[in-house]
Structure 1
């Protein structure tokens, strides 16, 4: 009997990436999907399909939607703080810094980043979470 070795080969939908890279990719994809469809439509299956993964692969990196949203918050924080660092390195003039920071933040929001939809959808929830830790 001749075995068909080709039937045992599997082609992954996407190549394996380091956990940190995959987590960032999932957060970025989630933000993109929030931008397009709103927070209510965000789910594990949609994220997996957009990236080209099986939904179970998402659970290798996150325990669920809540943890993904925390990662999205971290991604946004990194981007906003990145703007601050860049502006501070650019000039020492406080007024120019404020102007450049405002421009940088506006550019981030206007380029379709999903920030407004995310902030407004999670805004009161995030405030309540912050108050409970004070």
Structure 2
């Protein structure tokens, strides 16, 4: 006789809850101080349940960093796929990065604090993806700043992204709208480009 006991269903949101909990704890305390039991408690999951999704704390960290890099890449690809002019595209890249920095602040902060703790092959892989993302900015900026040499273009892009990401490590207490406005102004100033009058509508990943 077949058992009528219902088959246990895996919570489809559990993996995301684990990653969110890990990011929040790591942003507050540093990833190296956080244990699997801590992550489970924060996510409302029995510690052993984490191992159904991740076999180690390092695997959680890699998944977190992959997640935020994929989000940035998807945003850039969506902007460039619109075929808009360079100024509109650059403004859209800036505004998408601001959205990520505000909405996914914890995960992006973990990326910058913890990437050096990854195994060499994973660190090199993520750094390569990061360079490709920066190249998208440089490619769009170059026609707008023909007065800059290649190294100067790259410096400007790093400065603009650094301005946006200053919010990761300093809590200003500003309302989101005001914070977004100021970061937008500062990033455009770093690039020496006037902002496009309205942002592009891009499809979110």
User: Shared topology, TM-score over 0.5?
Assistant: yes
Report what 1:121 is aligned to.
113
Deviation at 1:17, TM superposition (A): 0.8
Q: Of 78, 90, 102, which residue of structure 2 is paired with 1:86? A: 78
Q: Which runs of 5+ in 2 are unaligned?
A: 1-8, 129-205
Q: Deviations over 1:3-62 (max 9, x none)?
A: xxxxxxxxxxxx8413xx422332222122222222223221121111111100001111
TM-score (structure 1 length as normaliser): 0.69
Any gaps of 5 or more consecutive residues in structure 1?
A: 1-14
Q: 1:97 to 1:23 in 2, by over 3 A?
A: same
Shift of 1:79: 1.5
Distance 1:26 1:93, change over 3 A: same
Change (3 A) 1:123 1:23: same
Please give the secondary structure, in 2, of the residue aligned with 1:68.
Answer: helix
1:17 lines up with 2:31 in the alignment? no
- Select the structure that is richer in helix: 1
**Root mean square deviation, CA, Å:** 2.7
C-alpha spacing 1:116/1:42, structure 2 compared with 1 (3 Å): same
**Contact 2:62–2:118 (8 Å) recurs in 1:** no
TM-score by length of 2: 0.48
By how many angstroms is 1:80 displaced? 0.9
Greater relative contact order (Cα < 8 A, sep 6+):
1
Output the CA distance in 2 between the equivalents of 1:112 and 1:55: 25
